[in-house]
Amino acid sequence: MEKIDIFTDGGCSGNPGPGGWAFVMLKDGKLIINSSGGSPATTNNIMELTAVINAIKDCQIMGFSNFSIHTDSQYVKNGITQWIHNWKRNGWRTSSKEPVKNKDLWLELNDLNAKSNIEWIWVKGHAGIEFNEMCDSLVRAEMDKFK
């Protein structure tokens, strides 16, 4: 069985500010695709979610349904694997009764997540992990387009 690994990253300069997202996809350890994009006015969390959503969409288009996503965002990993269950149960409210931010993106990610078998892996950012660093470079290049 082939092994598909996806590394994602998102960020912005200022929060909100100009931002970028990126992902790289590997099949059996070899880079097969990378993609990135950006927005002139966004938040870090929106870009982290956008990176993951775009990565999953591309993976599913390519016919892959079993893969690992490596993210340096605790917000994304914990949100999709833990917090989302309580958000749905609480009518899309946080434990402090505030509306969940970026609900539209969480709904989209939840739907995509349900259609695949995804292993969610948190990686430490800026720790020399090759493909996480590649994503970070792509994100910075996207942010630079808006300066």
Q: How far apart are CA 36 and CA 97, in angstroms?
A: 34
Is residue 48 part of the annotated active site? The answer reads yes
Out of 2, 29, 104, 126, the active site residue is 126
**Helix ranges restricted to H, 30-95:** 44-61, 74-78, 84-89
Out of 5, 20, 70, 72, the active site residue is 72
Out of 48, 70, 79, 142, the active site residue is 48
Out of 38, 70, 136, 142, the active site residue is 136
Is residue 10 part of the annotated active site? The answer reads yes
Q: How far apart are CA 72 and CA 120, in angstroms?
A: 11
Out of 10, 11, 19, 20, the active site residue is 10
Residues taking part in catalysis: 9-10, 48, 72, 126, 136
